[in-house]
Amino acid sequence: MALALLGFGGWRVWLVLFPGDEAEIRAMLTELEEAAAFKPSDKPLTHMANAGEFSGFFTDQVEISAKGTGGGIRRIVGKTSLQQAAISAQAMGGGFSVSFKDVLVKLGEEKGTATCRLTALARGAGEPTPWVQILDMEIVELDGDWKVAKVAAVEALERIQ
């Protein structure tokens, strides 16, 4: 019995010290949620720093295709364009938060690749209802860090009458 408890304890310590790829991806997504958020009281220099931190979670050639709050598909290509979009969004004020729910991580057959399907809930200050979108993400490992390479909106199924 003591040997089994010792083995289980050792396994738990191993997981804490050396998390698997899925755990690292989930941790990265949690950090991404925090980096995407901003407060209405943030100063302009803070906006630039926040946008730089946010864009650091993406590859240089990232491709994002998702529905905007107005309903149309918005396409952003490249880390620089993403950073500029983040600065513009923050400059409009009002604050913003995002959370990822129902995260499914699938490690790729090639080492250093993964896909995620998740539900993004975003809320702007003063907005009565959150923006909700199911997203597919392609994630790659670059220099030991997981980065988002592609984000695509998943179209919801329509009811046939």
As given in the structure block, the two tokens for residue 126 are: 């003063």
Model confidence pLDDT, tens digit, residues 7-52? 655 545 544 555 699 999 999 999 999 999 888 777 777 778 888 8
Question: How far is Cα 125 from Cα 108, in angstroms, rounded to an integer?
Answer: 37
DSSP-derived letter for residue 157 is P
Please give the chain's pLDDT, 161 residues, in tens: 665 655 655 545 544 555 699 999 999 999 999 999 888 777 777 778 888 899 999 999 999 998 766 667 789 999 999 998 888 887 776 788 899 999 999 999 999 999 999 999 988 877 778 888 999 999 999 999 999 999 999 876 655 55
Residue 134 neighbours by CB under 8 Å, 6+ apart: 117, 118, 119, 120, 153, 154, 156
CA atoms within 13 A of residue 24's CA, in its CB half-sphere: 19
Angle, CA of 98, 93 and 62, to the nearest 5°: 50
DSSP-derived letter for residue 111 is T
> For residues 118 and 137, is the Cβ–Cβ distance under 8 A?
yes
pTM, two decimals, is 0.79
